[in-house]
Chains A and B, each alone.
Chain A
């Protein structure tokens, strides 16, 4: 009798597993939103609030210059299936994303459609030019600085906005996304307190960056960016500008040069030699190094580098 009971229990278990195996993937498939993001940071934030109800992939890699991504046809394979495209906006992707969107043959993600999300609308944007803009200023972004995700407060705003959009596209899981956002918010607030207190002793410190990609980070953590290795955005370093910068750094006693991983270190290194400054290869994006796998680790990594450099 006991044996029979065990057998029937096994049979029921097997039946359950069979049903689960048959049904579960279908259910999961039906509910997963297919999301493509322009950059890894947007992917990381979308993953935070989307949890297992979304599958997210980024077009640009974290160690790649997001201004110059090639519009490879392989990206079209992802875009044509996508329910949602999350972009950084502010013309960061203007050189490569528009033709991909046009060619994708996917009406859901066309500009203005419900599945096209320009995340810049949620964030605090700095460096919005007030006067006339022209290209003598270099490759300036007329709508403001697009590197806005490097302020954790903007990260929170983006996550909230993205969670709202996910809920709109998948109303059945709207509560789930909101709950994930609340959870992210809590973790971010805790992490932010830690980061803020770690960086507190260095508020007001002067730094130089290669490209103007740190205004939001600098604002949040109270860094003073006094100059750039590039003479103008997108224009490679010139000897005269480099000399001026060396002079400025000496005068201002600036000891840190922050460089994105995709720029050549030759000029920053020679500036460092002249000024006794330290070159810090910081990461502007999630995935810039293998271990930097999410939005939290991005700040952990950069703050760790900076505090070491400031000490």
Chain B
């Protein structure tokens, strides 16, 4: 702000000088007026350049102050009445921690500039129909109406070396840290590392938050073999790197080590029971509008049957995308499939289950999407019990920030019971939610 007013002042002074010169030479001839015009132009250039510098300074100062306030320990915890974040921000320079100039003092705008990007995404689901006869223990039908999830996202660049992302998920019954991790972006040798709690890179669906799924619910194979909605979402660290490959092929390897807890999949009985997830991704542009994305995943960890028993998961995923660039906001098509094999040690015998889904989504127009999904999956503990199902999904986007979706879902459970459900979902997004990876 100071710089801004500075530049305005500068402008005023310059204009005055110019007009002063103007009056000093009453009979300005053509040459003079051309010179004056040039001067005014030069001044204009200077103002535009100063305005640009102000914008840069503003953003730099806010991140510097953010770093300073994060680095500086809370000065005196004595005043306990003081509410947490916002008022402290203004005090940082006053406390003499840094001598960075303030722009706009401790005003609202400056305080906001220090905040991370904050977003909330609501996921409201209504359901009609359900299982017949009454529900099975292993199956969780949707209640009639529920505020399924409210995801709070807090994202910011931490310092020149890292960024931080938090996604806190408020369900109907409790709060869960869905993800919270630091990403080191400035490592040597093109490595990218993460540490914290994160959704593991096992396949595609496991990495996705609810609001980016092309369906209301997750495929049967996710529920039966990969831990359901939460999936393999655990505390640990991750390291990834792009590998050398023939021209035009993107090859990326990711290795992750987790504590070893993922409900329904892994259980850590002792500290050495860590789980690992490895993923290899190959991607290629077939042409400018079509591309193919293939992944291979492997996960290993101890399971809840016994402290000595482990589970291995093998996955293959393939995605074909089409989006004509000239009409990219109107039409697109995505076909995706994942195949997952589960190998679970338990008594009396090891269970080897297989599951898969195949889905396709076509964008009919700027706001309409039509999709379908086929499901088939064994169960991790009872490999010979296979559930099958299918869905038809219609999605409408009033804007980029809200979405209305209807899904008809039919499931045939291994025990011979059926479920017919009509799901209605409303997703709405507030604030600045960071873009998702492709």
Contacts and interface: CB of A to CB of B under 8 A. Distances in A.
A73 B252 contact: yes
Contacts, number: 125
B45 A157 contact: yes
Contacts of A123: 48, 52
A103 B49 CA distance: 32
Contacts of B326: 63-64, 261-262
Interface in A153-183: 157
A73 B192 contact: no
B56 A73 contact: no
Contacts of B434: 98-99
B51 to A, nearest CB: 7
Interface string B396-438: 0001110000000000000000000000000000001011111
Interface in A99-116: 99, 101-107, 110-113
A135 B192 CA distance: 34
B191 A99 contact: no
B325 A61 contact: yes
A112 B160 contact: yes
A99 B48 contact: no
B437 A71 contact: yes
Nearest to A142: B432
B160 A74 contact: no
Interface in A21-78: 61, 63-65, 68, 70-74, 76-77
B366 interface: yes
Contacts of B186: 107, 110, 113
A129 interface: no
Interface stretch (B73-81, B211-219, B327-335, B373-381): B327-335
A177 to B, nearest CB: 18
B242 A80 contact: yes
Given A73-B250, A110-B160, A262-B327, A80 B438 contact: no
B192 A105 contact: yes
Nearest to A143: B55
A286 to B, nearest CB: 15
A73 B329 contact: no
Given A68-B329, A112-B160, A124-B48, A105 B437 contact: no
A240 B52 CA distance: 39
Contacts of B435: 71, 94-99
A106 B192 CA distance: 9
Interface string B246-276: 0010101000000000000000000000000
A182 B399 CA distance: 45
Contacts of B52: 120-123
Contacts of B191: 105
A238 B330 CA distance: 16
A207 B204 CA distance: 47
A252 interface: no
A102 B187 contact: no
Contacts of A113: 160, 186
Interface in B107-160: 157, 160
A274 interface: no
Contacts of A103: 192, 437
B367 A236 contact: yes
B63 interface: yes
B185 to A, nearest CB: 5
A15 interface: no
Contacts of B242: 76-77, 80, 105
B56 A61 contact: no
Contacts of A97: 435
Nearest to A156: B45
B241 A61 contact: no
B306 interface: no
B111 to A, nearest CB: 15
A10 interface: no
Nearest to A77: B250
B381 to A, nearest CB: 36
B185 A110 contact: yes
A5 B19 CA distance: 75
Interface in B285-339: 285, 288, 291, 293, 321, 323, 325-330
Contact of A74 (B48, B187, B188, B283): B283
Contacts of A135: 399, 401
Nearest to A121: B52
Given A70-B438, A262-B327, A105 B241 contact: yes
B190 A105 contact: yes
A76 B52 CA distance: 29
Contacts of B49: 122, 157
A107 B48 CA distance: 30
Nearest to A72: B438
A110 B55 CA distance: 18
Given A73-B283, A102-B185, A121-B52, A111 B157 contact: yes
A70 B436 CA distance: 10
Interface string B357-392: 000000000110000000000000000000000000
B86 interface: no
Contacts of B56: 118, 121
A172 to B, nearest CB: 25
A94 B281 CA distance: 25
A254 B312 CA distance: 68
A235 interface: yes
B399 A235 contact: yes
B163 interface: yes
B183 interface: yes
A264 interface: yes
A250 B240 CA distance: 59
Nearest to A94: B435
Contacts of A244: none
Contact of A262 (B53, B192, B328, B437): B328
B267 to A, nearest CB: 31
A64 B328 contact: yes
Interface in A116-161: 118, 120-125, 135, 138-139, 143, 157
A255 B293 CA distance: 47
B59 to A, nearest CB: 8
Nearest to B438: A71
Given A64-B326, A96-B435, A118-B56, 4 more contacts: A73-B250, A121-B56, A234-B399, A262-B329
16 contacts: A64-B326, A94-B435, A97-B435, A99-B436, A102-B183, A103-B437, A105-B185, A105-B241, A112-B60, A113-B160, A113-B186, A120-B55, A122-B52, A124-B48, A135-B401, A264-B327
Interface of B: 45, 48-49, 51-53, 55-56, 60, 63, 157, 160-161, 163, 183, 185-188, 190-192, 240-242, 248, 250, 252, 281, 283-285, 288, 291, 293, 321, 323, 325-330, 366-367, 399-401, 432, 434-438
